[in-house]
């Protein structure tokens, strides 16, 4: 699995320290092991997890601004855990409403020694950020409208951003952004060996 990760990183033009690569592989191993009992992801093959979960998460790293992030609807920690591993100086709150996922995240935090993550079990609309976050990240929401409606209270006004990981460019969703939110950038992401398009939509909370 280490060789596969090395080849994927090289294809993406990324280089990581050995410790971070070991943590990423250990996370995939934990996800694979727990998945049999907890059904955390539909991806069953660890090699595919490297592509569809690890690489798909860390390619957004260079586009993030700030140091305090919340991963909303994180599920088994995606993209929050891989980003926390490759961005050790930033802090990630991992929010999910399902107890089994949060238990898994706490185990990952413990086994990988991640001091920069905080798993939280809560519905997003009931979670009170203190202080507000530099960035709100999600790859699970069905639409930008839902994400903005439920997460509007999470980013710092004037400087906080929403980072939505999407497949195809959601131009129809961008046509009806609410007041107080502006489109900053749409980044076309390149994920080695991943079929289909990937885009990162960056919105600013005014």
Q: What is the DSSP string of 22-38?
A: HHHHHHHHHHHHHHHHH
User: What backbone phi and psi angles, to 5 degrees, belong to 154?
Assistant: -90, -40
Which residues belong to the annotated binding site for S-adenosyl-L-methionine?
Answer: 73, 78, 124-125, 139
Q: Cis bond leading into 103, ω under 30°?
A: no
Of 17, 131, 118, 125, the closest CA to residue 77 belongs to: 118
Of 18, 13, 55, 41, the closest CA to residue 194 belongs to: 55
Distance CA 192, CA 202 (A): 22
Q: For residues 25 and 1, is the Cβ–Cβ distance under 8 A?
A: yes
Which residues belong to the annotated binding site?
Answer: 73, 78, 124-125, 139
The pair of three-digit structure tokens given for residue 172, joined into one six-digit string? 């129809």
Q: For residues 35 and 44, is the Cβ–Cβ distance under 8 A?
A: yes
Distance CA 81, CA 61 (A): 12
Distance CA 144, CA 152 (A): 11
């Amino acid at each position: 699995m280490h060789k596969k990760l090395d080849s994927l990183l090289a294809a993406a033009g990324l280089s990581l320290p050995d410790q971070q690569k070991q943590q990423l592989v250990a996370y995939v191993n934990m996800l694979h092991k727990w998945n049999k009992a907890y059904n955390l992801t539909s991806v069953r093959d660890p090699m595919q997890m490297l592509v569809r979960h690890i690489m798909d998460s860390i390619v957004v790293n260079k586009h993030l601004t700030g140091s305090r992030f919340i991963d909303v609807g994180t599920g088994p920690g995606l993209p929050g855990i891989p980003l926390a591993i490759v961005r050790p100086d930033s802090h990630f709150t991992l929010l999910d409403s399902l107890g089994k996922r949060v238990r898994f995240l706490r185990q990952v935090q413990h086994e990988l020694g991640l001091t920069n993550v905080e798993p939280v079990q809560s519905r997003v609309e009931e979670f009170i950020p203190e202080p507000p976050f530099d960035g709100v990240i999600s790859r699970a929401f069905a639409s930008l409208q839902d994400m903005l409606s439920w997460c509007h209270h999470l980013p710092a006004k004037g400087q906080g951003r929403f980072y939505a990981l999407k497949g195809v460019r959601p131009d129809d969703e961008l046509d009806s952004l609410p007041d107080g939110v502006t489109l900053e950038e749409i980044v076309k992401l390149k994920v080695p060996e991943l079929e289909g398009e990937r885009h990162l939509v960056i919105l600013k909370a005014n």
